[in-house]
Amino acid sequence: MTAAPALAPLEISGRQELTFAKALNLAMADAMAEDPTVLVFGEDVGTLGGVFRITDGLKQRFGEERCFDTPLAESGIVGMATGMAINGMRPVVEMQFDAFAYPAFEQIASHVAKMGNRTRGRVRLPLVIRIPYAGGIGGVEHHCDSSEGYYVQTPGLTVLTPSTISDAYILLRDAIASPDPVVFMEPKKLYFSKGSVDVDELRARYASAARTGGAAAGPSTIGQAAVIRAGTDATLIAYGPSVAPALAAAETAATEGRSLQVIDVRSLVPYDEATIDAAVRATGRAVVIAEAPGFASMAAEIAAGIQERCFHSLAAPVLRVTGFDVPYPAPKLEHYYLPGVDRILDAVDRLQWEQS
């Protein structure tokens, strides 16, 4: 396959009301327009535009050589992406649902993650594996797994997960620009959430890179957590689909006279321990919130790290609010499983306030 010439960006500009899905679509379209080596493929991503329509219109705009459907063979999709990345392309592949990616895990863990180390950095793989994940859509098993734990436990992978419209665009652009493989976890329940963003401002971060082929103008979000709500009494640490309930809990707590800070981790690997540790040291109390089962999880790692590094600043043990250690439940039961405002506030109440 030969690289196609660069194209002009989509005619969309200024402040726009975008869905999370459209922000992801725009990120891929802009990256494909600026860099002819970027291409998109996966199951039903071409003609249909993906089951969640995240790739809608890309085949029509860029042609079937740069956005195309594949057989139902996830291992083959990632294997082909690996070969393309070795030969100078920047593939962005879609796993249709979280658990559908498991057949590709051997390729991801044994080859994608290890190629750079295996070749002492001589062969790097600039590819992105997009994975819709987590629950909240009334789906059944194989459609609602929080599978980030498998990827964060695999050295050699960068793992990102956005929670806002603007981060959907920015994190995906940063993932595509990365010289190394990125697993990009998309909270599917956020796909059709809406927000107002300045498209020109988002694109400006990458304008110099488009002109020069160099780094983006703005700082990369890879390895950067964000403090998204100020607070002084305790810190809520969340990522992806759990950020919204964390913010809602903080809003409710404020009406009860308690000030909760909220951190969006955004980049699971590399992990921004400097920002998160500084936040926890300032409040002295922390609750980690995640949809995945809690045992041996990302939430467990965050809690353990804080207790190791911030022990002398803590007024109470770090607590976790997570999914339960069971297979994902049937749709009518998922509201019991997912971390919600009540469970988060119950954990906050257990942060040993009587010792203040």
Q: In this structure, are 102 and 157 located in the same domain?
A: yes
Say which residue the tokens 């607590």 belong to.
Answer: 319
Residue 176 pLDDT greater than 90, yes or no: yes
Structural element, H or E, at residue 273:
helix 273-283
Mean pLDDT, to the nearest integer, of 165-179? 97
Catalytic site includes residue 142: no
Q: In this structure, are 33 and 79 located in the same domain?
A: yes
- CATH code at 270? 3.40.50.920
Picking from 178, 210, 242, the residue at the C-terminal end of a domain is: 210
Domain count, the chain: 2
Tokens of 182: 């990125």
Say which residue the tokens 């419209």 belong to.
Answer: 165
Vertex 221 angle, CA 238 and 181, to 5°: 100
**Among 344, 350, 323, which Cα is nearest to 147's?**
323
Output the average pLDDT for the chain: 94
Mean pLDDT, to the nearest integer, of 86-98? 96
Highest averaged pLDDT of the listed ranges 205-209, 217-221, 222-226: 222-226
Q: In this structure, are 256 and 193 located in the same domain?
A: no
Q: In this structure, are 146 and 238 located in the same domain?
A: no
pLDDT given at position 142: 86
* 272 lies in some domain: yes
pLDDT given at position 217: 53
- CATH code at 167? 3.40.50.970
Q: How confident is the model at residue 354 (pLDDT cuts 50, 70, 90)?
A: confident
Q: In this structure, are 180 and 251 located in the same domain?
A: no
pLDDT given at position 114: 97
Q: In this structure, are 241 and 138 located in the same domain?
A: no
Picking from 158, 184, 210, the residue at the C-terminal end of a domain is: 210
Residue 213 pLDDT greater than 60, yes or no: no
Q: In this structure, are 93 and 233 located in the same domain?
A: no
Peptide bond connecting 270 to the previous residue in cis, omega within 30 degrees of 0? yes
Picking from 210, 242, 265, the residue at the C-terminal end of a domain is: 210
Q: Which of 111, 143, 312, 335 is catalytic?
A: 143
pTM, to two decimals: 0.94
The per-residue pLDDT for range 315-341, each reduced to its tens digit, is 999 999 999 999 999 999 999 999 999
Residues 344/321, Cβ–Cβ less than 8 Å: yes
Residue 4 pLDDT greater than 90, yes or no: no
User: How far apart are the C-alpha atoms of 301 and 243, rounded to whole Å?
Assistant: 18
Range of the domain at 316: 226-350
The per-residue pLDDT for range 121-145, each reduced to its tens digit, is 999 999 999 999 999 999 888 899 9
**CA distances to 67, 186, 317, 321 from 129, in Å:** 15, 10, 36, 28
Q: In this structure, are 346 and 200 located in the same domain?
A: no
